[in-house]
Structure 1
Amino acid sequence: MKPLYIALFLGLIFSACTSKVTETSEASLVEQVNTNKGKLFIIGGGKRPPSLVKRLGEEANLGKDNNYAVVLPMSSSEPDTSAYYGCKQFTDLGYTAIFPKDIANSVAPHTSLLDSIRGAKLVYITGGDQNRFMERVAGTQLIQAIHDCYKNGGTIAGTSAGAALMSQAMITGNEKKHPEYNSTFRNIESENIELAEGLGLFPEAIIDQHFVKRSRYNRLISAVIENPSKVGLGIDESTAILVTEGTKIEVVGESQVIRMMNKQKSPKVYEDKIGATSIQLDVFVPGDVFEI
């Protein structure tokens, strides 16, 4: 069989049986990231202009040698619809994209799916709720398969929720002290921002999305004050960062990327408020290249 038909067969024909779970430590995942041969293409949400999707396809070498993309829609509350449009953005440009319908509907990943992910040139994670995605893949080998794809030269991409979960320390969107959701955070408070474990593909950074459009400065400032070893990256809508060589970043798209770094390391605390000095803030525009 030709490689393309093999990929389609693996991507579409999955059984409902479970796979044996292999535990992978955070340290080993980070080690894999540091030795990877692939790329990350992290989109801040919103509309994705064809030029941005085309650049993603080119970086992943789609359209060559029967290469294909696997779309993972588990962040969405309507995974079939999300997968349809996730695939369509690629097929409209002549690329091949498949999605595993079984896992989108809560069936455990079969070996054939894991092999399809490992062999893909692009794994694309749709928007929705990053917590939903991580809950869906918890305790499965799917996380390891994504890391294997990245390590072996594949491109891992995600938009909105699919961007947030690229971090090891993932912004959940929740506040510990304020149960009522607020997308911008009202204050910069101690022990308020909730972080959970993400995919760990970009462990050096904490990713925030829809950033300029939704003024999420308080949220990312809180994150970098309390996590000084991490670099905060706020990616605006219709904009992406292309990460190569592990830490080299290019801004792609239509808007800006904000970088925050906390050089003080130890936060100041006044009652429930936190402060810090020497926080570096940089604003990058499309075409800019910088190091994490």
Structure 2
Amino acid sequence: MMRLKGFLAICVFIGSMFCITPISAQEVQNKGKLVIIGGGSRPSAMIDRIIKESGIDKSGYGIILPMSSSEPDSAVYYASKQFIEKGLKNIYGLNFVKDELLTTSKVDSIKNAKMIYISGGDQNRFMDIVAGTDIEKAIHNSYSNGNLIAGTSAGAAVMSKMMITGAELKHPEYASTFRNIDADNIEIGTGLGMLTNVIIDQHFVKRSRYNRLISAVIEHPEMLGIGIDEATAILVSGSNAEVIGDSQVITLKNPKGSKNVHDDKLGAHGLQLNIYLPGEHFSLN
């Protein structure tokens, strides 16, 4: 086995050495799956798929992490409701507050969960509580151990390492849709980093969030921009993403690293846009 620029290649010697196609080190390390939901309603078939992929109908348990929400009890109730309606009784809410003294039992409850579901709300609120803590480590441990991590809306935004906060640096008044494609405007925070080479955006088609994802891939051309619409998700296994749900997933790439600036307005050439429908697959590499 040899390492090539962050990739692992399996090499065999039969007279001479040859290598099987490289796969990313992240893909080797992480054995679990991600379900990244663009917000809005969750179709019944999507819940069925989460149950099937996690196996919580057979054994183990699932937990709801509601820290994105300003009303965590309500977030737990609504997030667990559809699972309970499917007959599951092994779904539990587990809330944390900032600077909480973490007990081993609560951290282990995350680490050993077969499904972890992160509610919607404010991704910045969630990361302010979990960043750099044993909560964050436990989520990664669970994923590495083969379990499923799901999140909707804010819970989708936190999945990527480079996280869209929702704020504009040059236009501080909040608007759900960016009205500009400006240089140095999009605010980026640090998410959980379940995926390190993408930027996730949510409520994408419904709220016409093209401008901010376009801005993101121009400013950060090494990233794949993924816009997930409401009632829609991507199921990530290794480097493969499958679209599930009712609507579309948009991907944006800036393969040439193109970036031009004129009077603060961003320009770029050769951007690539793809629109994926339910049942279709695409690569995250």
Q: Normalising by the residue count of structure 2, what TM-score does the alignment of the two structures yield?
A: 0.88
Q: 2 CA distance for matches of 1:132 and 1:165?
A: 10
Q: Per-residue displacement from partner, 1:207-237 (whole Å, max 9, x unpaired)?
A: 0000000000001000000000000000000
Q: 1 CA distance for matches of 2:43 and 2:181?
A: 34
Q: 1 CA distance for matches of 2:99 and 2:137?
A: 18
**2:13 maps to which residue?**
none
**1:151 maps to which residue?**
144
Letter in 2 for 1:167: S
Q: 1 CA distance for matches of 2:185 and 2:161?
A: 18
Aligned residues, how many?
A: 261
**1:252 maps to which residue?**
244
- The answer as to 2:32 corresponding to 1:38 is yes
Identity of paired residues, percent? 55
Q: 1 CA distance for matches of 2:118 and 2:128?
A: 14
Q: 2 CA distance for matches of 1:120 and 1:204?
A: 26
Q: 1 CA distance for matches of 2:26 and 2:140?
A: 7
Q: Per-residue displacement from partner, 1:162-189 (whole Å, max 9, x unpaired)?
A: 0001010000000000110011111100
Q: Which moved more, 1:103-112 or 1:216-225?
A: 103-112
**1:272 maps to which residue?**
264
For residue 172 of structure 2, give the secondary structure of its aligned residue in structure 1: coil
- The answer as to 2:62 corresponding to 1:56 is no
Q: Which moved more, 1:203-212 or 1:260-269?
A: 260-269
Q: Which 5+ residue runs of structure 2 have no aligned equivalent?
A: 1-5, 7-23
Letter in 1 for 2:194: L
For residue 117 of structure 1, give the secondary structure of its aligned residue in structure 2: helix
For residue 109 of structure 2, give the secondary structure of its aligned residue in structure 1: helix
Instruction: State whether residues 168 and 198 of structure 1, in contact with CA within 8 Å, keep that contact through their aligned partners in structure 2.
Output: yes
For residue 132 of structure 1, give the secondary structure of its aligned residue in structure 2: helix
Measured after TM superposition, the shift of residue 105 of structure 1 is 8.6
1:142-181 equivalence runs, <5 A: 142-181=135-174
**2:118 maps to which residue?**
125
Q: 1 CA distance for matches of 2:227 and 2:26?
A: 25
Q: Per-residue displacement from partner, 1:107-146 (whole Å, max 9, x unpaired)?
A: 4432111111111110000000000000011342100100
**1:217 maps to which residue?**
210
Letter in 2 for 1:195: I
- Structure with more of its chain in helix, by fraction: 1
For residue 223 of structure 1, give the secondary structure of its aligned residue in structure 2: helix
Letter in 2 for 1:230: M
Q: Which moved more, 1:49-58 or 1:155-164?
A: 49-58
**2:253 maps to which residue?**
261
- Structure with more of its chain in strand, by fraction: 2
Q: 2 CA distance for matches of 1:31 and 1:70?
A: 28
Measured after TM superposition, the shift of residue 106 of structure 1 is 7.2
Q: 1 CA distance for matches of 2:132 and 2:214?
A: 32
**1:140 maps to which residue?**
133
Instruction: State whether residues 162 and 193 of structure 2, in contact with CA within 8 Å, keep that contact through their aligned partners in structure 1.
Output: yes
For residue 269 of structure 1, give the secondary structure of its aligned residue in structure 2: strand
- The answer as to 2:269 corresponding to 1:287 is no
For residue 194 of structure 1, give the secondary structure of its aligned residue in structure 2: strand
Letter in 2 for 1:140: T
- Return closer, same or farther for 1:238/1:280 CA change in 2, 3 Å cut-off: same
Q: Per-residue displacement from partner, 1:228-259 (whole Å, max 9, x unpaired)?
A: 000000000000000001x1010000000000
Measured after TM superposition, the shift of residue 33 of structure 1 is 6.2
